[in-house]
């Protein structure tokens, strides 16, 4: 685990491109559900198309990144009258990085038309399978694989994280803020860089306690990390740590349960994590930085179904493309502060603010 503290100035980037995503999985294959989505029509066009994904080690129910991708796969399946299983839509879950190649290869051999590898950690595995199976259509999220049969999808996490930083700086009473990251990889460092820049844009004197846990699937480690931060005076923590971030919520909820007046907040990531913060009649979720992996998966799948699979291309989604955003705060953030956040958002969309991708 490494620890850093920062007070930042502001700089950055805005862009857009074209997209490709791929998926890996584990030996556990979910049982086939023979029921197509409600209200869907099982036409020859849709029944002849299938899509699947492989999770990284965070698992399909991480309430974050992988889960968002799976929700996109399911939505596409239901919209197109597909059933879960071979010939429809499915996923494989990876227990370790050793499962990535096996799971990807498994889904390709099961004749899924598009196979997604979810996450930066699957880059090498997707590249290997793309070369071994040149007829397969693969997609990868959060990495670029330079192969003609791979579509690569990236997000401007730094732009959404910037808004989360603005929200944290404007809402913090202690002026002590925390960031809990999973592994120190480029995608998480973009979250960190944007968050720090957003805090600094509001108040450069605020220091952000940055901790990397080295894991995306260790809730106990997330809880102990959050405990140290809250105990030191931090009142808002933004996590970009997948399943490890569930521990951040657990710690905040435990403190709120013991003391209803405890000033502790969590900013969720990837999906709207409002439900994760529920504590009786109150909630410790300030907001969440949405990363629309679900929408990206649907767009790639639709393109492939229409014979327009973007193999060999990369697509980047930011605020302007509605690929990242802040979730509804359900009143936790007052309207006047939301108005300030919206002003920063517009400046990013207009190119007046360029959000940095790296801390440096």
pTM of the model: 0.83
> Based on the number of CB atoms within 10 Å of its own CB, is 40 exposed (0-12), middle (13-18) or buried (19 or more)?
middle
Same domain, 218 and 248: yes
Same domain, 334 and 225: yes
Measured distance CA(318)–CA(324) in Å, rounded: 6
Same domain, 138 and 177: no
312 falls within a domain: yes
* Number of domains composing the chain: 2
For 250-271, the pLDDT digits (tens) are 999 999 999 999 999 999 999 9
Same domain, 182 and 203: yes
Structural domain including 202 reads: 2-7+157-291+321-349
Using left for φ > 0, alpha for ψ between -120 and 50, and beta otherwise, residue 133 falls in: beta
Could you tell me if 239 and 219 are in contact, meaning their C-beta atoms sit under 8 angstroms apart? no
245 falls within a domain: yes
Same domain, 233 and 330: yes
pLDDT for 360: 77
Same domain, 130 and 207: no
195 falls within a domain: yes
**Residue matched to tokens 């909630």:** 283
Could you tell me if 190 and 235 are in contact, meaning their C-beta atoms sit under 8 angstroms apart? no
pLDDT for 61: 87
pLDDT for 58: 81
Spell out the residues 6+ positions from residue 190 whose beta carbon is closer than 8 angstroms to its own: 156, 157, 158, 161, 357, 358
Q: Detail the DSSP E strand segments found in the chain.
A: 2-6, 51-54, 89-92, 114-118, 137-141, 150-155, 176-181, 207-212, 236-240, 265-270, 278-279, 282-283, 285-291, 314-317, 324-326
pLDDT for 4: 34
Same domain, 189 and 260: yes
Spell out the residues 6+ positions from residue 40 whose beta carbon is closer than 8 angstroms to its own: 46, 78, 79, 80, 81, 82
Measured distance CA(122)–CA(153) in Å, rounded: 13
- C-alpha torsion sign, points 335, 339, 341, 346: positive
96 falls within a domain: yes
28 falls within a domain: no
Ordered per-residue pLDDT tens for the chain, 360 residues:
433 333 333 333 333 333 333 333 333 333 333 333 333 333 334 458 999 999 988 889 888 889 999 999 999 999 999 999 999 999 999 999 999 999 999 999 999 999 999 999 999 999 999 999 999 999 999 999 999 999 999 999 999 999 999 999 999 999 999 999 999 999 999 999 999 999 999 999 999 999 999 999 899 999 999 999 999 999 999 999 999 999 999 999 999 999 999 999 999 999 999 999 999 999 999 999 999 999 999 999 999 999 999 999 999 999 999 999 999 999 999 999 999 999 999 999 999 999 999 997
pLDDT for 291: 95
359 falls within a domain: no
CATH number of 51's domain: 3.40.50.2300
Same domain, 171 and 124: no
């Amino acid at each position: 685990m490494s620890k850093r503290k920062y007070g930042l100035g502001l700089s950055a980037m805005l862009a857009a491109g074209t997209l490709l995503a791929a998926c890996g999985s584990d030996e556990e294959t979910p049982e086939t559900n023979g029921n197509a989505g409600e209200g869907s029509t099982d036409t020859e066009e849709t029944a002849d198309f299938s899509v699947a994904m492989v999770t990284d080690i965070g698992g399909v129910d991480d309430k974050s990144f992988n889960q968002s991708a799976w929700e996109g796969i399911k939505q596409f399946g239901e919209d197109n009258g597909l059933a879960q299983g071979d010939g429809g839509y499915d996923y494989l879950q990876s227990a370790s990085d050793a499962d990535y190649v096996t799971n990807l290869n498994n889904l390709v051999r099961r004749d899924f038309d598009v196979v997604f590898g979810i996450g930066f950690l699957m880059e090498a595995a997707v590249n290997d399978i793309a070369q071994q199976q040149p007829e397969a259509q693969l997609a990868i999220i959060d990495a670029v694989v330079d192969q003609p049969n791979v579509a690569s999808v990236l997000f401007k996490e730094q732009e959404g994280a910037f808004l989360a930083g603005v929200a944290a700086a404007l809402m913090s009473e202690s002026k002590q803020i925390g960031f809990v990251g999973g592994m120190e990889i480029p995608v998480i460092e973009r979250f960190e860089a944007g968050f720090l820049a957003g805090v600094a844009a509001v108040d450069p004197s605020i220091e952000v306690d940055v901790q990397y846990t080295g894991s995306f699937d260790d809730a106990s480690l997330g809880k102990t990390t959050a405990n140290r931060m809250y105990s030191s005076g931090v009142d808002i923590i933004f996590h970009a740590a997948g399943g490890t971030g569930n521990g951040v919520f657990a710690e905040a909820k435990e403190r709120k349960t013991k003391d209803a007046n405890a000033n502790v907040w969590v900013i969720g990531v990837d999906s709207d994590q409002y439900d994760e913060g529920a504590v009786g009649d109150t909630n410790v979720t300030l907001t969440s930085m949405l990363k629309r992996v679900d929408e990206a998966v649907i767009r790639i799948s639709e393109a492939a179904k229409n014979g327009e699979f973007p193999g060999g291309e990369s697509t980047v989604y930011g605020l302007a493309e509605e690929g990242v955003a802040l979730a509804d705060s359900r009143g936790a953030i007052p309207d006047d502060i939301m108005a300030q956040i919206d002003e920063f958002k517009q400046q990013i969309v207009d190119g007046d603010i360029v959000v940095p991708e790296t801390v440096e």
